[in-house]
Amino acid sequence: MEDTHTSAERDLFQGCRAVQLERSEESSCVSVKSDASLDRPIQFKDGDAQPDLHRVHQKGSEAELSCVSMRSDASMTQPIRFNSGETLRDLRDDQTGDLQQNSAQLVDDVLQKVKELHKTTMKRKYDSLYEGMKVQENQTLLNRIYTQLYIIEGESEGVNEEHEVLQMEKRARTKPSQHTPVYCNDIFKASAGAGHEEKIKKEKAQIKTVLTKGIAGIGKTVSVQKFILDWAEGKDHQDVDFMFVLPFRELNLIRDHQYSLHRLLLDFHPELKDLEPKIYEQCRVVFIFDGLDESRITLNFSDEEKVCAVTESSSVAVLMRSLLKGDLLPSALIWITSRPAAAHQIPSRYIKRLTEIQGFTEPQKEEYFRKRISDEHQASRIISHIRRARSLQIMCHIPVFCWISSTVLQKLLEEDVSAEIPQTLTEMYIHFLLIQINMRKQKYEERDPEKLLQSNRGVILKLAEVAFRQLMEGNVMFYEEDLIESGVDITDASVYSGICTESFKEESVIHQRKVYSFIHLSFQEFLAAFFVFYCCLMKNIETMQLFLGEKYERCRSKKSSLYKLLTSAVDKAIESENGHLDLLLRFLVGISMECNQRLLQDLITHKVNSSESIRETTQYIKDKIKTDDRLSAERSINLFLCLLEIKDQTLAREIQEFVKSDKHFEKKLSPAHCSAITYILQMSGEVLDEFDPKKYNTSDEGRRRLIPAVIKFRKALLQWCNLTAESCESLSSALQSSNCVLRELDLSINDLQDSGVKKLSDGLKSCKLEMLRVSMCNLSAEACNSLSSVLQSSNCVLRELDLSNNDLQDSGVKLLSDGLKSPTCKLEILRFSGCMVTEEGCGFLSSALTSNPSHLRELDLSYNHPGDSGVKLLSEQLEDPNYTLDTLKVDHGGEFRITAGLRKYACFLTLDPNTANSRLLLSEENREVACVREKQPYPDHPDRFDVWSQVLCRESVCGRCYWEIDWSGDKDVFISVSYKSIRRKGGGYDCLFGVNDHSWSLICSSSSFIFRHNNLETGLPVEALSRRIGVFVDHSAGTLIFYNIYRDTMSLIHSVQTTFTEPLCPGFTVWCGSSVKLSS
pLDDT, position 580:
82
pLDDT, position 578:
72
pLDDT, position 414:
84
Asked whether the predicted pLDDT for residue 921 surpasses 90, the reply is: yes
Residue type, position 358, single letter = Q
* Lowest-pLDDT range of 186-200, 616-630, 706-720: 186-200
C-beta separation of 510 from 250 below 8 A:
yes
Give the pLDDT mean for 203-227. 82
Pairing of strands 829-831, 858-860: parallel
CA neighbor of 249 nearest in space, from 502, 511, 526, 490: 511
Asked whether the predicted pLDDT for residue 79 surpasses 80, the reply is: no
DSSP 3-state assignment of 622? helix
Residue type, position 971, single letter = K
Confirm whether 575 is domain-assigned: no
- Average pLDDT of the chain is 81
Highest mean pLDDT among 84-93, 124-133, 443-452, 519-528: 519-528
Instruction: Kindly state whether residues 787 and 835 are assigned to the same domain.
Output: yes
According to DSSP, residue 196 is labeled H
DSSP 3-state assignment of 926? coil
More reliable by pLDDT, 236 or 737 = 236
Asked whether the predicted pLDDT for residue 592 surpasses 80, the reply is: yes
Instruction: Kindly state whether residues 707 and 821 are assigned to the same domain.
Output: yes
Confirm whether 1026 is domain-assigned: yes
Q: How confident is the model at residue 721 (pLDDT cuts 50, 70, 90)?
A: confident
Confirm whether 696 is domain-assigned: yes
pTM value surpassing 0.85? no
Instruction: Kindly state whether residues 893 and 915 are assigned to the same domain.
Output: no
C-beta separation of 218 from 357 below 8 A:
yes
| Measured distance between the N- and C-terminal CA atoms of the chain, rounded to whole angstroms | 94
Instruction: Kindly state whether residues 890 and 936 are assigned to the same domain.
Output: no
Confirm whether 213 is domain-assigned: no
pLDDT, position 659:
82
Please give the order of strands across the beta sheet that includes 1028-1034: 920-922, 928-931, 1074-1078, 960-969, 1028-1034, 1039-1046, 1049-1057
Asked whether the predicted pLDDT for residue 900 surpasses 90, the reply is: yes
Confirm whether 576 is domain-assigned: no
* Lowest-pLDDT range of 85-99, 501-515, 577-591: 85-99
CA 622 to chain centre: 26
Asked whether the predicted pLDDT for residue 640 surpasses 80, the reply is: yes
pLDDT, position 418:
74
Confirm whether 799 is domain-assigned: yes
Q: How confident is the model at residue 551 (pLDDT cuts 50, 70, 90)?
A: low
pLDDT, position 451:
63
Please give the order of strands across the beta sheet that includes 139-141: 17-21, 128-132, 139-141
pLDDT tens profile 105-132: 666 788 889 999 999 999 999 888 766 5
pLDDT, position 498:
39
More reliable by pLDDT, 961 or 490 = 961
Give the pLDDT mean for 337-362. 86
Out of 855, 878, 900, a domain closes at 900
pLDDT, position 619:
95
Pairing of strands 713-717, 744-746: parallel
Instruction: Kindly state whether residues 955 and 838 are assigned to the same domain.
Output: no
pLDDT, position 1078:
97
Instruction: Kindly state whether residues 920 and 892 are assigned to the same domain.
Output: no
772 is in which domain, residue-wise? 688-900
CA 778, CA 871: separation in Å to the nearest integer? 26
pLDDT, position 132:
53
Instruction: Kindly state whether residues 876 and 984 are assigned to the same domain.
Output: no
Out of 848, 865, 900, a domain closes at 900
pLDDT, position 628:
84
Confirm whether 889 is domain-assigned: yes
pLDDT tens profile 1021-1077: 888 889 999 999 999 999 999 999 998 889 999 999 899 999 999 999 999 999 999
Asked whether the predicted pLDDT for residue 159 surpasses 80, the reply is: no
Q: What are the DSSP calls for 48-61, one per residue?
A: PPPPPHHHHHT-S-
Asked whether the predicted pLDDT for residue 593 surpasses 60, the reply is: yes
DSSP 3-state assignment of 1039? strand
C-beta separation of 1055 from 961 below 8 A:
no
Give the pLDDT mean for 761-780. 94
CA neighbor of 293 nearest in space, from 352, 325, 252, 253: 252
CA 854, CA 839: separation in Å to the nearest integer? 23
Per residue, what are the HEC states of 672-736?
A: HHHHHHHHHHHHCCCCEEEECHHHCECCHHHHHHHHHHHHHEEEEECCCCCCEHHHHHHHHHHHC
User: What are the backbone angles phi and psi of residue 355, rounded to the nearest 5°?
Assistant: -125, 160
Instruction: Kindly state whether residues 941 and 894 are assigned to the same domain.
Output: no
Give the pLDDT mean for 887-915. 96
Phi-psi region of 922 (alpha: psi -120 to 50; beta: other; left: phi over 0): beta
The Cβ of residue 313 has, within 10 Å, a number of other Cβ atoms equal to 19
* Lowest-pLDDT range of 80-94, 204-218, 245-259, 1066-1080: 80-94
Residue 706, domain CATH: 3.80.10.10
More reliable by pLDDT, 1016 or 487 = 1016
Asked whether the predicted pLDDT for residue 15 surpasses 90, the reply is: no
Instruction: Kindly state whether residues 880 and 768 are assigned to the same domain.
Output: yes
Instruction: Kindly state whether residues 870 and 941 are assigned to the same domain.
Output: no
pLDDT, position 27:
35
Residue 1060, domain CATH: 2.60.120.920
pLDDT tens profile 440-462: 555 554 455 566 666 678 778 88
C-beta separation of 783 from 811 below 8 A:
no
Q: Which residues, including other chains, have CB under 8 Å from residue 950's CB and lie 6 or more apart?
A: 915, 916, 917, 920, 974, 991, 992, 993, 1067, 1068, 1069, 1070
Burial of 544 (0-12, 13-18, 19+ CB in 10 A): buried
Give the pLDDT mean for 891-897. 95
Highest mean pLDDT among 162-171, 172-181, 394-403, 826-835: 826-835
Number of domains in the chain: 2
Q: How confident is the model at residue 513 (pLDDT cuts 50, 70, 90)?
A: low
CA 825, CA 848: separation in Å to the nearest integer? 11
| CA-to-CA dists, residue 28 to 33, 72, 510, 1003, angstroms | 10, 10, 9, 80
Pairing of strands 1064-1070, 973-979: antiparallel
Please give the order of strands across the beta sheet that includes 1009-1013: 950-952, 1064-1070, 973-979, 999-1004, 1009-1013, 1016-1020
Out of 900, 929, 957, a domain closes at 900
pLDDT, position 85:
41
Q: What are the DSSP calls for 506-531, one per residue?
A: EEE-GGG-EEEEESSHHHHHHHHHHH
Per residue, what are the HEC states of 1012-1033?
A: EECCEEEEECCCCCCCEEEEEE
pLDDT, position 454:
67
pLDDT tens profile 194-207: 444 454 454 445 68
More reliable by pLDDT, 572 or 217 = 572
pLDDT, position 103:
60
pLDDT, position 440:
58
Percent of the chain with pLDDT over 70: 80
Give the pLDDT mean for 821-842. 96
Confirm whether 853 is domain-assigned: yes
Q: How confident is the model at residue 872 (pLDDT cuts 50, 70, 90)?
A: very high
Instruction: Kindly state whether residues 896 and 991 are assigned to the same domain.
Output: no
CA 639, CA 624: separation in Å to the nearest integer? 8
Asked whether the predicted pLDDT for residue 283 surpasses 70, the reply is: yes
pLDDT, position 106:
67
Instruction: Kindly state whether residues 836 and 926 are assigned to the same domain.
Output: no
More reliable by pLDDT, 235 or 163 = 235
Phi-psi region of 926 (alpha: psi -120 to 50; beta: other; left: phi over 0): left
